[in-house]
Amino acid sequence: MFAQGFFAEIRIYDKSMTSAPRKIIIDTDPGVDDAMAIFAALASQELDVLGLTTVFGNAATDITTQNALTLLDIAGRSDIPVAAGAAAPLVGDYLGPVPQVHGHNGLGDAQVAASARSVTEQPAADFIYNLVAGDPGNVTLLAVGPLTNLAHALQRCPDLAAMVDEVVVMGGNALVPGNATPVGEANINNDPEAADLVFGASWQVTMVGLDVTHQVNLSGAALDRIAATNTPTAHLLGHAVPHYRSFFEATNGIDGIFVHDPTAVIALLEPDAFVMNDWPLRVETQSFSRGKTWPNMDNTDEAVPAAWQNRPPVKVCTGVDAERVGAAVEALLTASA
């Protein structure tokens, strides 16, 4: 409880003292909806993207890293560094890419030019640590892929947690079914051990999971408006999104797509569009329910079950003004360059 109040005060202090954009690092596995999230964050005047760190997930890390570089080139932001991250989870092997969702190249099989740029010399975990330690209290981590890089950074430097402003995670499912398995969401399912570490560290984490992202459906008409926008980023999305859209329309029977990763960007920008609960979380690492995020919803109970003892509260999103969030995503993705 003390930690939660402490972090809340820091955020309020920051907002009232400065109108400078919020500094973020995006940890990502691009990924069609990752591309949308990256472009949305770059389009926001309220965010200052310090760097991208890459991880396996929607595709292998060499592909997601190349995609991160290419996406920044397309956005005209080749000044932003990219640090390559983990190629496998903390335990076991990478479960493999999902071409049926994100295409074989992770970008919906859109034709893209390879970037001429290189990644930083520092691997992702060191890159994260050094940027955060260089500006303690002022850097937020937006994690929209498996949480392996954040776990590596915490394992190497446990003091990282005290220096981060906030961690916003797209991942998990508190009160709803999974999407990668019947009970597990894809990002958490790709590295449950890492997720359990991240949700258990002494920093303020917001979980933007399927409880809300499965409510934010960007319609086919909205996607068509984005595709018709005359900017390089919208042009790329016009070619990358159709494959992703076909997947959702075939498997979920919806018109359009669920905008998982962009919803986490809007949670940073407009947190009052969400219902958040302070619930300690554990991640199941065993057996057939591996990857399930389990909240302790009754933290007034004096007899906290052993598994949740000494776990910090996570801001778990369970409600959302879906129209407002969808409109905010569309506004950022149709903004002129």
Is 214 labeled as catalytic in the residue annotation? no
Which among 13-21, 143-151, 269-277, 304-312 is the span making contact with Ca ion, rule CB under 5 A?
Answer: 143-151
β 82-83/205-208 pair status: unpaired
Cα separations (Å) of 187 from 55, 91, 170, 172? Answer: 10, 14, 8, 7
58 binds ligand BDR (CB under 6 A): yes
Angle at the Cα of 143 from the Cα atoms of 158 and 127, rounded to 5 degrees: 55
**Residue-wise DSSP of 293-317:** EEE---TT-SS--GGGTTPPEEEEE
Question: Residue 141 carries which side chain, given as an amino acid letter?
Answer: L
x-marked contacts with Ca ion along 15-34 as a string, rule CB under 5 A: --------------x-x--x
Nearer to Ca ion, 157 or 248 (CB): 248
Is 29 labeled as catalytic in the residue annotation? yes
149 binds ligand BDR (CB under 6 A): no
Question: Of these, 22, 214, 243, 260, which contacts ligand BDR (CB under 6 A)?
Answer: 260
Half-sphere exposure of residue 319, counting CA atoms within 13 Å on the CB side? 5
34 binds ligand BDR (CB under 6 A): yes
Question: Of these, 27, 196, 211, 261, which contacts ligand BDR (CB under 6 A)?
Answer: 261
Q: Are 333 and 40 in contact (CB under 8 A)?
A: yes
x-marked contacts with ligand BDR along 89-108 as a string, rule CB under 6 A: ------------x-------
x-marked contacts with Ca ion along 231-270 as a string, rule CB under 5 A: ------------------------------x---------
Question: Of these, 140, 179, 206, 293, which contacts ligand BDR (CB under 6 A)?
Answer: 179
Residues binding ligand BDR: what is the number (CB under 6 A)? 14
165 binds Ca ion (CB under 5 A): no
Structure tokens given for 153: 């950074």
Query: Residue 116: CB partners within 8 Å, gap ≥ 6?
Result: none
Structure tokens given for 193: 């051990």
Structure tokens given for 71: 């996406």
What residues line the site for ligand BDR (CB under 6 A)? 31, 33-34, 58, 101, 144-145, 170, 179, 185-187, 260-261
